[in-house]
Amino acid sequence: MIRNALAETALTLAIVFVVVALVLVPLAMTQADPVGVVTTFLFGPFKSIRHIGNIIELATPSMFCGLAVALILRAGMFNLGVEGAFFLGGLGTVAAALILPLPGPWLAPAALLAGAVIGSSVCVVPGVLRARYGASELVSSLMLNFAALFIGLYVLNVWLRDPAAGAMVSFKIPADARLPRLIEGTRIHIGVLLALAACGLGALYLFRTAGGFESRIAGANPSFAAHLGLDVARIGLRAQILGGLIAAFGGGIEMLGLYQRFSWQALPGNGWTGVTVAILARDHPALVIPAALFLGWLQVGGDLVARNFDIPNEAVGLMQALLLVTVTAAALTRNPRLLRAFGARSPGAAR
């Protein structure tokens, strides 16, 4: 099993290098220092502790959202509400941190819990509509994101807004509620450990518990689940609730870890990234971790190139998009011949 996973990783890396060579090299040739462009993109993110920190802090919310989407996809559901859940989870957490009269050490956990419950509603409502009435969760969750956004902004404007601040932002998050930093010189906070733990627990749940197994059965073949007497609607709803809680919790972590005030004026996009991460990770909670780090690396490398060279941000975006397409293309990454070339054994033959 491990051997095959490694072969897939190696193949994916090879694809990354081919794409970088195809897009970045011609672009770099237009510059005075073509080698510098390529090395900055590829290795720049690892050159300073601050940039490594950037990768990890970008990867933290992606892990939460990716895990949420992976658990939902595995149960055969779909939900774009993770975006709204992440947003509302952040707002709910900040609101709770501002309002709850709790002593220092209790404030952050209580606020995160409150935020997770509030934020998960964006996933739970479409889940219930699906389980009860068979409404397409794709449409309802997509639409509900905007409801969540504008309700959130209303709450921010009316109840949480600090009149002393110039913009529409909340009061300052109490220092007691902020998450401790882990490494000097970076903004890496304790949330990354929670994200790693969440992914580990997610894998354990999915592959080693009865509930996770049932959810995989329902996701793999709903008729089979029904034949076994499993309640497919309930399993789907359970996955939606779980995914919503995780995504919203991720939003809260993001706020308490990196922000001084709640300042999002639009959907932050981490939920969409989560969908990408889950697809990259092939819905495997443990693989969510490298997938999120990979996306973080792409982002930081792209930023560095755009900042230091005369290459527009759009070109970097183009390359990131192309990388995502090729890395997720099953025709490439599932190709048995390519996989064997990278050392995989035939399916099932390992045992």
In the bound state with other proteins, the residue whose beta carbon lies nearer, of 114 and 199, is 199
Site map for other proteins, 39-58, x if CB under 8 A?
A: --------------------
Dihedrals phi, psi of 30, to nearest 5 degrees: -75, -10
C-alpha pair distances (Å), 167 with each of 68, 173, 333: 32, 16, 46
Residue 337 touching other proteins (CB under 8 A) = yes
Q: Which are the contacts of 188, defined by CB distance < 8 A and separation ≥ 6? A: 53, 56, 57, 181, 182
Angstrom distance (rounded) from CA 206 to CA 199: 10
Question: Closest separation between CB of residue 227 and other proteins, Å?
Answer: 4
Question: Closest separation between CB of residue 72 and other proteins, Å?
Answer: 17
Site map for other proteins, 216-255, x if CB under 8 A?
A: xx--xx-xx-xxxxxx------------------------
Instruction: Judge residue 127's burial from the number of C-beta atoms within 10 Å of its C-beta, 0-12 exposed, 13-18 middle, 19 or more buried.
Output: buried
Residue 282, sorted as left (phi over 0), alpha (psi -120 to 50) or beta, turns out to be left
Stretch that binds other proteins, among 10-18, 120-128, 170-178, 336-344 (CB under 8 A): 336-344
Site map for other proteins, 172-211, x if CB under 8 A?
A: --------------------------------x---xxx-
Residue type, 234: R
Site for other proteins (CB under 8 A): how many residues? Answer: 28
Residue 335 touching other proteins (CB under 8 A) = no
In the bound state with other proteins, the residue whose beta carbon lies nearer, of 36 and 200, is 200
C-alpha pair distances (Å), 325 with each of 45, 190, 329, 332: 22, 32, 6, 10
* Count of beta carbons in the 10 Å neighbourhood of residue 106: 12
C-alpha pair distances (Å), 45 with each of 116, 298, 302: 32, 9, 9
Stretch that binds other proteins, among 131-139, 178-186, 295-303, 340-348 (CB under 8 A): 340-348
In the bound state with other proteins, the residue whose beta carbon lies nearer, of 189 and 216, is 216
Residue 17 touching other proteins (CB under 8 A) = no
Dihedrals phi, psi of 285, to nearest 5 degrees: -55, -40
Residues that bind other proteins (CB under 8 A): 1, 204, 208-210, 213-214, 216-217, 220-221, 223-224, 226-231, 336-337, 340, 346-351
